[in-house]
Structure 1
Amino acid sequence: MIFAGKRPNNLGVNNGRLAACPNSPNCVSSQSTDAIHQIAPLTFNTSPEQAIANLKSVIQSLPRTTIITETQDYLYAEFKSALMGFVDDVEFYLDREANIFHVRSASRLGQSDLGVNRKRIETIRAELQAL
């Protein structure tokens, strides 16, 4: 737990937006406009309730994951790395009108994440599409 860091205080949804990514490349967000941080939102074609249940199921199936906050339109989970216990904060915000989850995945510590946050979101996207 040496490398867990402190939980950021800027998490959550503010006026329909997740927190912006820091300048470091260890964050991706579907609401970011720059190429380094931009990632496509997660789409779904079920009811919003089923979509969030599916998302929760996928997240819980991934190793070293803890869901911290869950509401009807928001899910926040912590993902720990196997080797050093680094913690990434991952948020999902349900946009019911657009049938998408906005997503933000950010490392708490360090600069580079070697693409881990982007890979994680793409893994979650693939798992959701397979359901």
Structure 2
Amino acid sequence: MKLVLSIIVVVFTLIIVYFFVLGYLSKKGNPIGLIDARLAACEQKPNCVCSEYPDDQSHFVLPINYTVISDFPVSVDVVGAALKPAPEDIIRIAKQAVIELGGTVQTDDDSHREHPFYLAATFQSSLFGFIDDVELRFDSQDKLLHFRSASRVGHSDFGANLKRIEKLKNTILARLAADSLVDS
């Protein structure tokens, strides 16, 4: 019985050490950045979501979609608020939302800025310190705010990146709606 208990303790300790090592390793690196003016596609692991590639159903999330008709703003989104944001406003509000949700916005030098309306941020898990990259790109031609969130290490994230993007989208939409009410 003591041998079985000792084996369980050793295995459990090795698993915990493994997760701390993964957390340490995830601190190295930067967000991928844009590839051909688009967010990078997800690898074939379940720890990533992205709105740029609708054909990749296992990783796809909806972008925030804006359409402006004449001088009257119309938003086609999950909230249904009337919005008329400039791309600069969207990125500014997205930065505020990332910070509000506990993320760290990367500086221009760190984010591989290749696009004027690109934002890179990182989020760190509380227990093991895993780093996840969150990237946003506003497509001013199609009026879409695209999202990508991916874990730097490991295979599964138990849906953490999807939940984060949904919270981020809701926070951005709420802030944009509040700003449009202030501007009215």
Please indicate, yes or no, whether the TM-score normalized by the shorter chain is above 0.5. Answer: yes
Give the counterpart letter for 1:47 in structure 2.
A
- Aligned-residue Cα RMSD (Å) equals 1.8
What residue identity is the alignment partner of 2:128?
A: M
Q: Which stretch of structure 1 is more off in the superposition, 66-75 or 107-116?
A: 66-75
Query: Which structure is larger by alpha-carbon Rg, 1 or 2?
Result: 2
Residue 82 of structure 1 aligns to a residue whose secondary structure is: coil
- Aligned mates of 2:141, 2:119 — CA distance in 1: 17
State the identity %.
Answer: 40
Picking from 78, 85, 98, the partner of 2:129 is 85
Distance 1:34 1:125 in 2: 20
Distance in structure 1 (CA, Å) of the matches to 2:123 and 2:29: 12
Which residue does the alignment assign to 1:66? Answer: 104
Q: Which amino acid in the other structure matches residue 36 of structure 1?
A: S
**TM-score scaled by structure 1?**
0.89
Q: Deviations over 1:19-64 (max 9, x none)?
A: 111111000010122221001112354111111111111011112x
Whether the 8 Å CA contact 1:18–1:104 is kept in 2: the answer is: yes
Unaligned stretches of 5+ residues in structure 2:
1-19, 67-82, 176-184
Q: Give ranges in structure 1 of 5+ residues lacking alignment.
A: none
Residue 104 (structure 1) aligns with: 148
Corresponding residue pairs, total: 129
For 1:52, the equivalent position in structure 2 comes to 91
Shift of 1:98: 1.8
The structure whose RCO (Cα within 8 Å, separation 6+) is larger is 1
Work out the CA distance in 2 between the residues paired with 1:24 and 1:8. 19
Question: Structure 2 CA distance, aligned partners of 1:35 and 1:15?
Answer: 21
Matched AA of 2:86: S
Question: Does residue 24 of the first structure (1) align with residue 70 of the second (2)?
Answer: no
- Distance apart, 1:96 and its partner CA: 0.8
**Post-superposition shift, 1:87?**
0.5
Q: Which runs of 4+ in 1 moved over 4 A?
A: none
Query: What is the TM-score of this pair, normalised by structure 2?
Result: 0.65
Q: Which structure has more helix as a fraction of its residues?
A: 2
State the SS of the aligned residue for 1:102: strand
* TM-fit CA distance, 1:8: 5.0
